[in-house]
Amino acid sequence: MARVTNLATMTPAGRTRSWRIFAWILIAPTVIGMLLFTVVPIIGSLLLAFFRWDIMSAPEFVGLQNFAEAVSSPTVRVSFLNTIAFVVVAATLQLGIALMLAVLVQEKMPNWLRVFFRSVFFFPLILSAASVSIFMSYLFNEQFGVVNWLLSLVNIPAVPWLTTSSGSAAVIILVYVWQNFGFSFLLFLGGLSSIPKDMYEAAELDGAGGWGKLVHVTMPLLSPTTLVASVMAVINALQVFDQPYVLTRGGPGDSTRTAVMVIFESAFQKLEFGLASAIGLILMILIMFVTYIQFRLSRRFVFYQ
Amino acid sequence: MSSGITRRALVTAAALGIAGVSVGAWPRLSGADIPGRHAKGLRVAILGNSADAEARRGIAEAFMREHPDIPVHLQAIQGADWKDFFAKILTMVAAGNAPDVVYVATEGTQLFAEKLAEPLDSYVQRDAQQVAEYFADVHPSLIEAFMYRGSLFQMPLDFNAANMYLNSSTLRRAGLEYPPAEWTWDDFESMMRGMKKREGRGFTPYYWTNRLFGGVVPWLYTNDTSFLTETRAQGGSWLWNGFYRGEATKTPRSGGYLWENPNAEDPKVLETFEFLRDLVDQGLAVRPEGGGGNSLVGLFANGKIGAAPAGGYWVDGLVQGGMGPKDFDVQFFPGQRSQRHQFGAAGYAIMRDSKLKDEAWEWVKFTARRDQMLTMFDRPNTTPTRRSMVNEAFYAKTGPQHWKVFYDTLDRFPTSGPIPAPPQQAAIETALMKNVTNAVGGSRAQTRQALGALQRDLELAMRSV
Amino acid sequence: MTTLVTSRKQRRERHSGSIGRVIFLLTCALLTLGPVLWTLSTSLRPPGEAFDLPPQFLPLNPDFSSYTGVFEQIDMLRLVINSALVTGLIAVGQMVSAAMAGYAFARLEFRGKKWIFALILATMMIPVQVTIVPVFMLVRGMGLADTLLALIIPAIPTAFGTFLMRQYFMGIPAELAEAAQIDGASPWQTFRSIYLPLAMPGMAIVGVLAFNYHWNEFFRPLIMTISEENFTLPLGLVTLQGNMGTGSISVVLAGVILSMIPAFIVFLFGQRSLREGLTAGVSK
């Protein structure tokens, strides 16, 4: 960095100016785009949240009424509770499965096999959540689905997956985790490969077994990765929409309605744009709060080398 | 050096390629290639895909031959259901590119009447002589469904009553007879039981079409109740006296349905849901899934389902699913306290803000002509509203044997009515979808609880808009 | 002697442990691939057998009628073209704009640089669902309602891509630029002929990431497009599945499989870039 500054001061004044202009030209598309499609909209959302507007008639200032409605509406409240419950279960499963598989894949095995596992676990990430939800809806069909057929082989009676509250919540979590664990898996794999081998050798000398090495070497040294992986898993899970939209449309009842679904329905099915903005802002605050908490916790628990 | 040249050539070629694609694809990117996007003329929106628009192309061309001064642009709007479709029309209105004419089903009639559509009264009265023949051929029940507070908003072209489809081979295997017209819920239940006993695992006697049409409402109607209260509006005598003078004396007709209050806690509603819950509980029916329509045809055609509620539209689907005329049949919906049927129907509505209302009326009138409806409905993928078109020839190749049931439903049960769809339709549908599964899929206690929740949700829904 | 025994015993234990481990991993791999294999196999069976149990995971007697069905029942070709246009132009737009901005932030000095860069990074925190309503209004105001451009233009500015490219340019030695300076190269020449070629792998990462995300995107197309003519693949397939009484499960699944093919090709050839991109936020 210092070198570039040097270079700039070294060059004649006219040239410095042309470099500066050049810099502005280079960042212009991104900066203008960001202003137009993120900064302006976020301000717009902030304003819209205080109005009632259905596009057909003029916006009407309603103060905090949209927020009051969002907080008091049972559907909105349930959808946020659903979202939080979903995040807790899905992120835990996703991280747990990913960590376990990453540790197992990282251990000694032929390289081609490792590449195979890595590719397979990564594969669902390239599919669209909408398509995945389509085929999963057939697999989880109560009468004719493969999942219940497999269960029937071990004498478990047919589970009404998509037609009961608990069943559909379970399906959405399973489908979501199935598709996303590969992401955390990749992060853990990267984290594991950066742990120096001599740490394990030292632990072995101290008489640590496989479990001991996991608890005393892997986990502490992996904690920065775990932090990032969990922040990302939580933020992504908070925004879940595609799976419940395609699989259950939020039902039965409100049992699988998520925060983003309520934003979508308020805005584009009921044309309550102000209410949708208010709910969106609440979601954003939630996301920021969760991120903040996770980083705060990390100070206590994360072990930086 | 040479690698520099090839790289430069490569980059230039890529840049040119992208520029070329962007320019060449500009009409696609900007939507300019969508027929009628910015063109002058009558814009007609229908629910469906491009194939559905294509099916109406012939009508549009015929119309333009007769009215060379009115170019017509058909626009297919996709939606998972009518609720989706109406939301999209509303967004189009908001975006300033609203269509002039929209094909609207009973689900949306009152929403449109309240907010978006122009009444047809003055047009119908002006051209009474031209449209008299239409009304003479169409059952008044279908017309009444499109009256709102004394005004007519659409002239329905097709309808579907919720009749009961039966899998003939399943019936035969179980040694069961085709049921009589006045069969009851009990007859139905024992028929389902008979099928289940014969077929065993992997077979479901009764399957839902979706939660609304052919869902719970037909059961509620045949138990002489509904999840909303039903009254009739004043007015409409201009139409009944004008076109149905003889008939209206037999069954009183009104200025349209009014669904104004929730009625989910009516004991007859509870009774209906308990009956359905018991069917599910005994394994005689599946839990109602949302719009499982597309797997349904395949399952029925493959003999994995014994019975399902559907209208005349299903015939074509079953034939495409591989069923022959003798493989399936249809009967009236089984009755309980009543045998009142539920139907859905659809027709073109003129948009209030259209600048081409007169032209739009010409389109409405034209498409309701018998010759045009014959072109439109060339196979039984729905039931035409004209009595004269629901005939032997229409079902000759496809069956079912008792095709007469489709139109007889209206004559035999003249109080049959549409899906309860007040202007708050979207909120009502959401409330119903939310609670039906819980009411039917759980314990008896849960049924009562879910109906309580439905009542509350409906109260909220009625307050919206 | 004793050490020899224990080590052999240990080896045996480790060996059996590793077999158990591989079997477990293979089971997990099967669970991961199973649903996709079933989808492929079912799409290759006649619609009437779609629901047959036990299920088949391997398509032994492929029947391609569902694949022709996809093209008959929906305008599959148009969906593919739309998805390709949207994804391709977003990817190219992101690669170019992110490379430009990333270079400026990594190697050039200008007023407010840190501040602007921080602002760009901060936008990464804002979920798309929060801004979608105003963006919808904005696009409507620009006369782009219900067009593919409404999907493309707002997606081009990329905070993550800019961040990634900045990291990439910072990894390229500054001495190269100095040498070019002394030869009298203009800012544009320095950027285009010295830095850009070296940053190609970084741009590939941005491109592959953009492809993976936007090819599969569902939420924005669901909102931004109204006409069927403007649908992208995931939206078209969900609509196909949702339509009452039309189509069959095999046809829907055939559409799903077809829509996976481009993503699969990228997976085969760009897996490394994709992996690097997805994990980029962590390793740095």
Q: Which domain holds residue B175?
A: 162-234+261-342+419-463
DSSP chain A: -HHHHHHHHHS-HHHHHHHHHHHHHHHHHHHHHHIIIIIHHHHHHHHHTTEE--SSS--EE-TTHHHHHHHH-HHHHHHHHHHHHHHHHHHHHHHHHHHHHHHHHHSS--HHHHHHHHHHHHGGGGS-HHHHHHHHHHHT-TTT-HHHHHHHHTTPPPP-TTTSHHHHHHHHHHHHHHHHHHHHHHHHHHHHHTS-HHHHHHHHHTT--HHHHIIIIIHHHHHHHHHHHHHHHHHHHHT--HHHHHHTTT-STTTT--HHHHHHHHHHTS--HHHHHHHHHHHHHHHHHHHHHHHHHHHHH----
Residues of A in contact with B286 (CB under 8 A): 142-143, 163
Query: For B408-436, what is each residue's pLDDT tens digit?
Result: 999 999 999 998 999 988 778 878 877 88
- CB contact residues (below 8 A), chain C span 34-73, against chain B: 47-48, 50-51, 53, 73
Among candidates A124, A190, A242 on the partner chain, residue whose Cβ is nearest the Cβ of C282: A190
Chain segment C216-231, per-residue pLDDT in tens: 999 999 988 888 888 9
Residues A40 and A160 grouped into a single domain? no
Enumerate residues 104 to 143 of chain A having a beta carbon within 8 A of any beta carbon in chain C: 104-105, 107-109, 113, 116-117, 119-132, 134-139, 141
- CB pairs < 8 Å spanning A and B: 66
Which of A128, A136, A184 to mutate: most C Cβ within 10 Å?
A128
pLDDT confidence of residue C81: 92
Instruction: Determine the distance in angstroms separating the CA of C249 from the nearest CA of chain B, rounded to an integer.
Output: 6
Do A40 and A74 lie in one domain? The reply is: no
Interface mutation target, options C70, C82, C244, chain B, most CBs of B under 10 Å: C244
Structure confidence at residue B109 (pLDDT): 94
Q: What ranges make up the beta strands (E) of B211-266?
A: 231-232, 257-258
The verdict on B305 and B225 lying in the same domain is yes
The verdict on B106 and B208 lying in the same domain is no
Q: How far apart are CA A252 and CA A239, in angstroms?
A: 20
- Reply yes or no on whether the pLDDT at A192 is more than 60: yes
Contacts of B30 in chain C (CB under 8 A): 144, 147-149
Instruction: Answer yes or no: is B32 within a domain.
Output: no
A87 and A115, same structural domain? yes
pLDDT at A9 over 50: no
Query: In this structure, are strands B342-350 and B42-47 parallel, antiparallel, or unpaired?
Result: unpaired
Query: Do A72 and A122 lie in a common domain?
Result: yes
Are A43 and A142 part of one and the same domain? no
Helix axes A74-106, A259-268, angle to 10 degrees: 130
Q: Residues A35, A168: one domain?
A: no
Judgement on whether residues A111 and A13 belong to the same structural domain of the protein: no
Phi, psi at residue C226, to the nearest 5°?
Answer: -115, -50
pLDDT at A6: 44
Chains near B with 3+ CB pairs less than 8 A apart are: A, C
Whether residue A57 is contained in a domain is answered as no
pLDDT for the residue C245: 40
If asked whether residues A10 and A156 sit together in one domain, one would say no
Pair B78, B181 in one domain: no
User: B128 φ, ψ to 5°?
Assistant: -50, -40
Within a domain: A53 = no
> Per the CB < 8 Å rule, is B295 touching A268?
no
A11-15, A111-115, B64-68, B333-337: which has the minimum mean pLDDT?
A11-15
- Report phi then psi at B262, rounded to 5: -65, 150
pLDDT at B1: 42
Is pLDDT above 50 for B18? yes
Is the pLDDT score of B273 beyond 70? Answer: yes
Chain A: partners with 3+ C-beta pairs within 8 Å: B, C
The pLDDT of A171-191, averaged and rounded, is 93
pLDDT average, residue stretch A79-84 = 94
Query: What mean pLDDT, rounded, does chain B reach?
Result: 87
Range of the domain at A19: 2-48
In this model, does residue B225 exceed pLDDT 90? yes
Share of chain B above pLDDT 70, in %: 92
CB contact under 8 A, C229 and B50: yes
CA distances from A174 to A146, B356, B459, C159 (A): 15, 53, 35, 31
Are B230 and B315 contained in the same domain? yes
**What is the number of structural domains in chain A?**
2
Residue B247: pLDDT over 90: no
Least Cα separation, residue C283 to chain B (angstroms):
31
Contacts of range B60-67, beta carbons closer than 8 Å, 24 or more positions apart: B62/B366, B62/B372, B62/B375, B63/B362, B63/B363, B63/B366, B63/B367, B66/B366, B67/B359, B67/B362, B67/B366
Say if A59 falls within a structural domain: no
Q: Which residue of A has its CA nearest to B296?
A: A144
In a shared domain, residues B386 and B426:
no
Contact check, Cβ <8 Å, C244/B321? no
Give C-chain residues touching A120 at CB under 8 angstroms.
Answer: 29, 32-33
Residues of C in contact with A146 (CB under 8 A): 38, 53, 55
Q: Is B319 found in the same domain as B188?
A: yes
Number of domains in chain B: 2
Determine contact, residues A244/A165, Cβ cutoff 8 Å: no
Using CB atoms and an 8 Å cut-off, which of residues 174-213 of chain A contact chain C?
A: 178, 183, 186-187, 190-191
Q: What is the pLDDT of residue B261?
A: 94
C168 touches chain B (CB under 8 A): no
Are C158 and A239 within 8 A, CB to CB?
no
Q: Is residue A56 part of a domain?
A: no
Residue numbers in chain C where pLDDT is lower than 70: 1-17, 47-48, 50, 242-247, 281-284
Q: What pLDDT does residue B277 have?
A: 92
- Distance to chain B for C170, nearest Cα, Å: 23
B232 burial level (CB within 10 Å; 0-12, 13-18, 19+): middle
Residues of C in contact with B313 (CB under 8 A): 245
Whether B100 maps to a domain, the answer reads yes
In a domain, residue B401? The reply is no
Measure in Å the smallest separation between the Cα of C238 and chain B Cα atoms: 9
Looking at the fold, whether A184 and A270 belong to one and the same domain comes out as yes
Residue B33 located in a structural domain: no
B16 inside domain:
no
Band (A132; pLDDT cuts 50, 70, 90): very high
Residues B80 and B155 grouped into a single domain: yes
Same domain, A102 and A197: yes
Tell me, yes or no, if B434 comes closer than 8 A to chain A by beta carbon: yes
Does position B88 have pLDDT exceeding 80, yes or no? yes
Residue B66: is it exposed, middle or buried by C-beta count within 10 angstroms (0-12/13-18/19+)? exposed
pLDDT of residue A17: 78
Task: Examine the domain organization and report whether B223 and B354 are in the same domain.
Answer: no
pTM of structure: 0.80
Q: Clarify whether residues B147 and B273 are in a common domain.
A: no
* Residue of higher predicted confidence among B26 and C214: C214
B99 and B225 together in one domain: no
Is B139 part of a structural domain of the chain?
Answer: yes
Tell me whether residues B434 and A141 touch, CB distance under 8 A.
no
pLDDT computed for residue B260 by the predictor: 93
Judge if B189 and B91 occupy the same domain. Answer: no
C243 contact residues in B (CB cutoff 8 A): 49, 78, 80, 293-294
| pLDDT tens-digit map of A96-121 | 999 999 999 988 888 899 999 999 99
Contact call for B298 and C152, based on CB within 8 A: no
**Would residue B15 count as lying in a domain?**
no
What percent of chain A clears pLDDT 70, i.e. is strictly above it? Answer: 93
Q: Tell whether B353 and B338 lie within a shared domain.
A: no
CATH number, domain with residue B318: 3.40.190.10
What residues in B contact A53, CB-CB < 8 Å?
none
Contact call for residues B150 and B254 (beta carbons, < 8 A): no
| Residues A20 and A166 reside in one and the same domain | no
Last-in-domain residue among B392, B410, B428: B392
Is B243 domain-assigned?
A: no
Q: Decide if A54 is inside a domain.
A: no
Distance from CA of C266 to the nearest CA of B (A): 18
pLDDT of residue C284: 40
Query: Are the Cβ atoms of A269 and B288 closer than 8 angstroms?
Result: no
Could you give the domains of chain C?
2-63 (no CATH), 68-283 (1.10.3720.10)
A211-A213-A215-A220 Cα dihedral, nearest 10 degrees: -160
Residue that wins the pLDDT comparison between C282 and B111: B111
Reported ipTM exceeds the 0.95 cut: no
Domain with residue A113: its CATH number is: 1.10.3720.10
In a shared domain, residues A71 and A193 = yes
Within the 113-152 window of chain C, which residues sit less than 8 Å (CB to CB) from chain B? 140, 144-149, 152
